A = this chain, B = another copy of it.
Amino acid sequence: MHRIPIGVLGASGYAGRELCALVRKHPDLRLAFATANEQAGRTVELPGGGEVTFVATEQAPLADAQLIFSSLPHGASKAWVEKSRAAGAKVVDLSHDLRIGNGVDGVVYGLTELYRDQIRGADIVANPGCYPTSISLALLPLIEQGLIAHHATIIANSASGVTGAGFTARTDLLFGEITENYRAYGTGNTHRHLNEMRALLGTLQSDAELVFTPHLLPIARGILSSITVPLRGTLDDAMAPFRSRYGTEPFIELASAPPELRHVTGRNTVRIFAQPLAHLKQPTLLILSAIDNLMKGAAGQAVQNANLMLGLEETAGLPV
């Protein structure tokens, strides 16, 4: 069978290598090129086996690819998205550059379960951030069904594995600094993902406010978000809004107990559990949402979107 040629820009990072691995195992895609500037010419091992040799981004034969994933750094990615489009390729951009809230036109925000139809016809998709994926999918049914209290303050505490910080030579990410440690970071109003989520809330015409506190876990992969949401009224069945919204979604799992990160590791899945907090006067829901930050939080969702853009089966090549 003819496989569709794919390019990966900025392929040496964690998400980039995961993208290469997914493309290599995908039944309908083939890896035309993978770029990395500092590691140009190097051959590295991919997660799950197999190897890839990087070319310099400037040398990338953009026109050879029908779709290009850009996993270039924030700020640097936007220009390469344009070059890729000019070369005729569709693009899924994994950087922050084109995401919702940045005021960029002609780009679809790639939260697949929300914008599936628009993604099918898109030339450029901005893949959501990892934290926003875990939190937005937890809130979406409540927002759409009008269940959140008026002017509610939603509190989202998230904890992420270290690959979320990228494959960067930073001393604060050394094993010796992370093992047996845990800390919050980007607190207050400082994490760029908060703006992304607030922009999405605005688009969905929600008046809720959001507190977002990310933490750094001593694990490689995974994000767990623990979210409290004040409700308009009590819910007889806390999972009902999620079942009715997500019942047929291939990549959303509704859990009957608090999800564990290891159960989503390596899988393009969001696992969601909701529980009423019955002891409070104000009806409030606790939602726990687990993803693999490199899969549903990055490369997996990117391939899910690419499948739609290329007219393939949405689940093709993705471990369920």
Q: How many copies does the complex hold?
A: 4
Scan residues 129-168 of chain A and give those whose CB is less than 8 A from a CB of chain B: 151, 153, 155, 157, 159, 161-163, 167-168
A224/B184 contact (C-beta < 8 A), A167-B171, A174-B173, A176-B14 known? yes
Assess whether A219 is interfacial by the CB under 8 Å rule: yes
- Give the size range of A's interface with the partner: 35 or more
Which residue of chain B has the shortest Cβ distance to A269 in the bound complex? B49
**Contact yes or no, A178 B175, CB < 8 A:** yes
Chain B min CB distance to A252 (Å): 13
- Scoring A179, A209, A265 by chain B CB atoms within 10 A of each residue's CB, the highest score goes to A179
Docked complex Cα distance between A257 and B281 (Å): 34
Q: Is A112 an interface residue (CB 8 A)?
A: no
Contact for A189 among B170, B220, B278, CB less than 8 A: B278
**Across the interface, do B179 and A219 meet the contact criterion of CB distance under 8 Å?**
yes
Q: A210-218, A241-249, A302-310: which one contacts chain B?
A: A210-218
- In the complex where A189-B279, A226-B184 touch, is A167 in contact with B157 (Cβ < 8 A)? no
In this complex, what residue of B is CB-closest to A157?
A: B157
Tell me the minimal C-beta distance from A234 to chain B in angstroms: 14
Contact in complex: B219, A226 (CB < 8 Å): no
Contact of B209 with A226 in the complex, beta carbons under 8 Å? no
Bound: A241/B282 CA distance, A = 28
Known A-B contacts A213-B226, A224-B182; A218 and B169 likewise in contact (beta carbons under 8 Å): no
A-B contact pairs, 29 of them (CB 8 A): A49-B320, A153-B230, A153-B284, A155-B228, A157-B157, A159-B182, A161-B176, A162-B174, A167-B171, A169-B170, A170-B174, A175-B178, A175-B218, A176-B221, A179-B179, A179-B218, A179-B219, A180-B261, A183-B258, A183-B259, A183-B261, A184-B258, A184-B288, A185-B258, A188-B278, A209-B279, A209-B280, A213-B226, A218-B219
